Amino acid sequence: MDNTEVKGQGIQSVELGLGILKRISAERRPLTVTEISTICGIPKSKLHKYLTSFTRSGFLKKSRDLKYSLGTELILLGLKASEQLNVQDSTLPYLIKLREDINETVALAIWGENGPFFLRWEESNRAVNLGIKAGSQVSVTESAPGRVFTVYLPKERTQHLFEKEMKDKNTEDREQLISELDLIEIKGFSVTTGTVLPGITAISCPVFDLNGEIAAALTVVTMAEVIDYSEGSECIMKIKKTALEMSQALGYKS
């Protein structure tokens, strides 16, 4: 849809009806006609026609106690729309723009059965061959994206891989890593240097989906000590901003 279509004359009754559906959805509970009238600022006499049409079409359902909630047809539409929010396609423009802005290799990692792997790998114009590419699997505990997933995914999805990698580590190493994971949750990003490849620093930020769950890890890979990755630095702010834009492209509401 282009700007002309967006700015052109629309159908006011349709826009009003969609606004009613959005308000009902936002409440996250069944509502009476009186409650809907109040939150929408629409008289009951006018509101009744919309509720009747939405109920007939399956966009709303009416319970025996005369309360309205989202109907099956509307939920199915939402599911179909969410299926189109493909992580790779939706985030690629932001990935490319970040690479151009900072001239560093950028990548997008997702979680697989055996841990995180890179779905997309975009090299900078001064990239060094790291032997990593799209499809490469990385460590859960030693890579920046792995640590991000460990923090933001449900524990039951990561714990078995976490324990497998940590089984030969001593208590001090385990406690140090747990402290670093706690910091990631506070700061919103992970940094590793030399843990996967000597002399290489990786920075990862979480990318969330429309349900507020982690969908991917935006990762910047660079030579150690080339960029300032301290909290609040320009580079970190750009990475976090890009991760938020990616999340919003996937339907995330901050």
- My answer on whether 138 and 184 are in the same domain is yes
Q: Which residue, chain included where needed, has tokens 């290799």?
A: 105
Q: What is the pTM of this model?
A: 0.65
d(CA 141, CA 164): 10
Q: Which residue, chain included where needed, has tokens 């079409």?
A: 57
Average pLDDT over residues 217-231: 85
- My answer on whether 45 and 123 are in the same domain is no
Out of 83, 107, 129, a domain closes at: 83
Average pLDDT over residues 148-177: 89
Residue 244 lies in a domain: yes
Lowest average pLDDT, out of 25-39, 53-67, 118-132, 177-191, goes to 118-132
Out of 83, 108, 141, a domain closes at: 83
Torsion angles phi and psi, residue 232, rounded to 5? 90, -5
| Greater pLDDT, 99 or 194 | 99
Q: What is the pLDDT of residues 78-114, one digit of tens each?
A: 766 655 557 888 899 999 999 999 988 999 999 887 7
CA 6 to mean position of chain CA atoms: 26
- My answer on whether 25 and 94 are in the same domain is no
Confidence of residue 181 (pLDDT cuts 50, 70, 90): very high
- What pLDDT, on a 0 to 100 scale, did the predictor assign at position 2? 39
Out of 18, 48, 83, a domain closes at: 83
Yes or no: say if 140 and 158 are a contact pair by the CB < 8 Å rule: yes
Average pLDDT over residues 141-153: 94
Look up residue 108 and give its two tokens. 């997008």
Question: CATH code at 77?
Answer: 1.10.10.10
Question: CATH code at 147?
Answer: 3.30.450.40
Confidence of residue 154 (pLDDT cuts 50, 70, 90): very high
d(CA 150, CA 185): 10
Give the domain range for residue 19.
3-83
Residue 119 lies in a domain: yes
Total domains present in the chain = 2
- My answer on whether 25 and 104 are in the same domain is no
Residue 254 lies in a domain: no
- My answer on whether 129 and 180 are in the same domain is yes
What is the helix, strand, coil percentage profile of the chain, to 5? Answer: 50, 20, 30
- My answer on whether 41 and 94 are in the same domain is no
pLDDT of 132 > 90? The answer is no
- My answer on whether 137 and 226 are in the same domain is yes
- My answer on whether 237 and 219 are in the same domain is yes
